[in-house]
């Protein structure tokens, strides 16, 4: 698939987010003609936006579209952009926000996804859309590793919204034969991530502040380094076997939150204390990826595992802190 993306017109929604910014960098490096869709004023034609993670790429992208992904304007703006490939990552992905703002989260995630599907349906020359699902859709798992056939037991309003997105994507492929590929990333971490457990623990450790673990800390997740996950996105956008498929990407290793806290403290040389507090709402005990389908279809497998990934993440955070001191 070498040079697949060279000169391809690609649009990335949610491009200024954590994974979106890494995907934007990778696609530009591959020679794609990249446009980005970021949050901003929803009026058609507006150029009001504030970039955070992609500010350094502002002069390298073809176009910057700004608006609310959940409004009808979004569909029209995407059709007007005339991309060949859409990577749809835009979402309200902070799980606790869905506890207090479930309708807003639903609108962004579900209506936003429907808008993108209809842009593909009504637009000209769009050859593929890669929609971003989530491992959160599996919820209260029935034990062992999770393959794509595992039942969906969403345990939070956010997870429920992503189930709806995931299944809408399947239904639009099935009903309209839209060129949809759906990626289900497991917990992803790395540079520029801010709101999940790993970046929070790293910041606390480097500041020498107390690291607070919700619940027993025995709950486990399949933590995947962002470079490996971006490989997954790139494959889903280019491989002929991806269309019509829904595919898990993760490491196949379940890592406890206690291990994350201890390892971050160890690697960083921090003197932070580790304490436990009450469990978080809608806490899922375990999420462990079975990525055998990704391996079978594409030959994909992870390259960076937790200790190396944490080392990279901590080094990057230290560098960023030194820049702003």
Q: pLDDT tens digits for 43-92?
A: 555 557 789 999 999 999 999 999 999 998 999 999 999 999 999 999 99
Least confident range from 35-44, 137-146, 279-288: namely 35-44
Q: What is the mean pLDDT of residues 119-134?
A: 97
What is the pLDDT at residue 324?
62
As a CATH number, domain 9-190+225-251+288-303 is 3.40.50.720
Burial of 205 (0-12, 13-18, 19+ CB in 10 A): buried
What is the pLDDT at residue 323?
73
Q: What is the mean pLDDT of residues 131-157?
A: 93
The count of residues in the chain is 325
Question: What does R_g of the chain's alpha carbons equal in angstroms?
Answer: 19
Residue 42 — very low, low, confident or very high, per pLDDT cuts 50/70/90? Answer: very low
What confidence tens digit (pLDDT) does each residue in 100-113 have?
A: 999 999 999 999 99
Do the bridges between strand 224-225 and strand 188-189 make them parallel or antiparallel, or are there none, so unpaired? parallel
Compute the distance between CA of residue 49 and CA of residue 124 in angstroms, rounded to an integer. Answer: 27
Mean pLDDT of the chain, nearest integer: 94
Q: How far is CA 31 from CA 80, 116, 245, in A?
A: 22, 24, 26
Residue 41 in this model has a pLDDT that exceeds 60: no
Q: What is the mean pLDDT of residues 310-324?
A: 90
Residue 289 CB neighbour total at 10 angstroms: 26
CB 287 within 8 A of CB 186: yes
What is the pLDDT at residue 50?
82
Query: What is the residue whose two structure tokens read 């009903």?
Result: 175
What is the pLDDT at residue 283?
82
Would you give the distance in Å from CA 34 to the centre of its chain? 18
Compute the distance between CA of residue 16 and CA of residue 188 in angstroms, rounded to an integer. Answer: 16
What confidence tens digit (pLDDT) does each residue in 240-264 have?
A: 999 999 999 999 999 999 999 999 9
Residue 176 CB neighbour total at 10 angstroms: 13
**Residues 6 or more apart from 105 whose CB is under 8 A from it?**
92, 97, 98, 157, 158, 161
Compute the distance between CA of residue 207 and CA of residue 115 in angstroms, rounded to an integer. Answer: 42
Comparison of pLDDT for 141 and 38, the residue scoring more: 38
> What is the sign of the dihedral through the CA atoms of 141, 146, 152 and 154?
positive
């Amino acid at each position: 698939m070498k040079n697949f993306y060279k000169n391809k017109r690609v649009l990335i929604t949610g491009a200024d987010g954590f994974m979106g910014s890494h995907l934007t960098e990778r696609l530009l490096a591959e020679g794609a003609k990249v446009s980005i869709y970021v949050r901003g004023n929803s009026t058609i034609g507006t150029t009001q936006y504030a970039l955070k993670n992609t500010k350094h790429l502002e002069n390298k992208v073809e176009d910057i579209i700004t608006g609310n992904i959940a409004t009808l304007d979004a569909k029209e703006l995407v059709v007007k952009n005339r991309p060949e490939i859409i990577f749809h990552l835009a979402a309200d992905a902070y799980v606790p926000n869905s506890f207090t703002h479930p309708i807003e989260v639903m609108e962004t995630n579900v209506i936003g996804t429907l808008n993108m599907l209809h842009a593909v349906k009504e637009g000209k020359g769009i050859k593929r859309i890669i929609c971003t699902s989530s491992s959160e859709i599996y919820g209260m798992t029935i034990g062992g590793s999770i393959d794509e056939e595992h039942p969906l037991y969403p345990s939070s309003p956010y997870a429920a919204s992503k189930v709806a997105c995931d299944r809408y994507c399947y239904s639009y492929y099935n009903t309209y034969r839209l060129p949809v590929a759906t990626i289900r990333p497991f917990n992803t971490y790395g540079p520029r991530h801010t709101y999940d457990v790993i970046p929070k623990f790293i910041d606390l450790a480097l500041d020498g502040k107390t690291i607070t673990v919700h619940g027993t800390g025995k709950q486990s997740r399949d933590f995947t380094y962002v470079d490996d996950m971006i490989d997954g996105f790139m494959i889903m956008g280019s491989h002929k076997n991806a269309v019509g498929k829904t595919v898990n990407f993760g490491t196949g290793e379940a890592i406890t939150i206690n291990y994350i806290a201890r390892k971050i403290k160890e690697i960083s040389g921090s003197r932070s204390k580790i304490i436990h507090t009450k469990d978080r709402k809608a806490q899922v005990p375990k999420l462990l990826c079975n990525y055998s389908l990704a391996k079978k279809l594409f030959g994909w497998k992870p390259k960076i595992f937790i200790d190396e990934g944490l080392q990279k993440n901590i080094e990057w955070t230290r560098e960023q802190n030194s820049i702003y001191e």
